A = this chain, B = another copy of it.
C-alpha cells in the first residue's frame, strides 16, 4: 500500500470559520487521514498534514483548493509568513512503498488539475522543478503575492502550468515533491526579532550553521515572543536535540531564554527517540524496544 504525506499550506490562520470550511473537505475521507491542521494567527497561515493513499489525497486537495480560492482573497491578506497564493504550497512526500518519481508524477497531475479547474498558475518546485532556479521555494516565492503580478510575466518566471497571469485573488500556487523534513520552531522570551534573526543565522547552513538546517526569525506578537523557525531537512544528520541545545546556548549571550518549542506536522518516531537518548543518556536503546501501542488505555 503506497503512502504519501501531503502538507498543503493555505493563507488563512485567523478566521476559524473559514479554516473549518476549508478543512471540512479533508475530514473523514476514505484511504487517507487528516493528521492535523495547525492554524497560526501570526503567520495567518494554516499547515495541513495528510497521510495515506496518494490519489485519494490528490483528489481531496483539488477540492480544498476550490475552497481556498472561494474564501481567501490575498489582496486582503497580511501575516508574518511570506506567501504568494491562497493555497500557497502543496508538497508530496514519499513515506512508504512509493518512489520520489511517483510523487513527482502525482504533483504534476495535481498541478494540471488545479490549473484546469481554477485557472491558478502553478510553479513546480523541489524534486518536481523544471529548472534549477525553481528548486528552492523561497526563490519562487520572492516578491510574494504583491510582486508576482509582474514577476510572472518575466521570461524566466513563466509558470509551469497556466498563463503568465496571477489569479486575481488566489495568486499562484507551488506544487512539488520533496524529502521529508521536520518543521521545528523554538520560542524566545523577547520581543526583539533581531535576536531570533541572529540565532537563525548561527544555526542555519546557508550562513555557516548546521548542514541540514534552514532557519529564519518570526515575530509572534500575540504572545509577545519571537521564534527561531526552522526546517530540519535530515534529522539523522542534524538532530532535534542538537539544534535545540545550540539555540539555548546562543540565546544566553543575548540574555534571553528558550521557553519552549513546537513541531508542525509529523515527526518520525526515530527522531524523537534519538533526542531522548541524548537527554537520558540511554545506553543500548533502539527502535525495536519502542512499543507503539499504548500500555495503559
A3 to B291, CA, bound (A): 12
Which residue of B234, B261, B273 contacts A281 across the interface (Cβ within 8 Å)? B261
Chain B residue with Cβ nearest A281:
B260
A290 at the interface (CB under 8 A from B): yes
Q: Which residues of B contact A276 (CB under 8 A)?
A: 272, 275-276, 279
Nearest Cβ in chain B — how far from A266, in angstroms?
4
- Do A266 and B290 have beta carbons less than 8 Å apart? yes
Contact yes or no, B289 A266, CB < 8 A: yes
Question: Are B262 and A283 within 8 A (Cβ)?
Answer: yes
For A260, the chain B residues whose CB sits under 8 A away are 280-283
Work out how many copies of this chain go into the complex: 2
Whether A291 pairs with B267 at a CB distance below 8 angstroms is yes
Interface members, chain A 240-297 (any B CB < 8 Å): 240-241, 244, 258-263, 265-270, 272-273, 275-276, 279-285, 287-296
Contact in complex: A269, B266 (CB < 8 Å): no
A279 and B36 within 8 A (CB): no
Are B283 and A267 in touch, CB under 8 angstroms?
no
Chain B residues contacting A49 (CB-CB under 8 Å) are: 289
Residues of B within 8 A of A5 (CB): 291
B262:A282 contact, CB within 8 angstroms: yes
- Enumerate A208-235 residues with CB–CB distance to B below 8 Å: 234-235
Q: Are A288 and B35 in contact (CB under 8 A)?
A: yes
Which residues does chain B contribute within 8 Å of A272, judged by CB atoms?
272-273, 276, 290
Bound CA–CA A64/B288 (angstroms): 22
In the complex, whether A236 has a CB less than 8 A from a CB of chain B is: yes
Contacts of A296 in B (CB 8 A): 179-180, 234-236, 268
In the complex, A273 Cα to B293 Cα: how many Å?
13
Q: Does A96 have its Cβ within 8 Å of any Cβ on chain B?
A: yes
Give CA–CA (A275, B280) in the complex, Å.
Answer: 9
Q: Which residue of B lies closest to A286 (CB)?
A: B36
| A96 CB contact (under 8 Å) in B240, B279, B293 | B293
Query: Is there a chain B Cβ closer than 8 Å to A71's Cβ?
Result: no
Contact B295 A282 (CB under 8 A): no
Q: List 6 A-B contacts (CB under 8 A).
A: A93-B295, A95-B295, A235-B296, A266-B290, A268-B291, A269-B290
- Additional 12 contacts, C-beta under 8 A, given A262-B285, A268-B294, A279-B279: A49-B289, A95-B291, A179-B296, A241-B280, A263-B285, A265-B289, A266-B291, A268-B291, A269-B290, A269-B291, A270-B294, A292-B292
Where the two chains meet, the residues of A that have a C-beta atom closer than 8 Å to any C-beta of B are 3, 5, 35-36, 38, 49, 51, 93, 95-96, 179-180, 187, 234-236, 240-241, 244, 258-263, 265-270, 272-273, 275-276, 279-285, 287-296
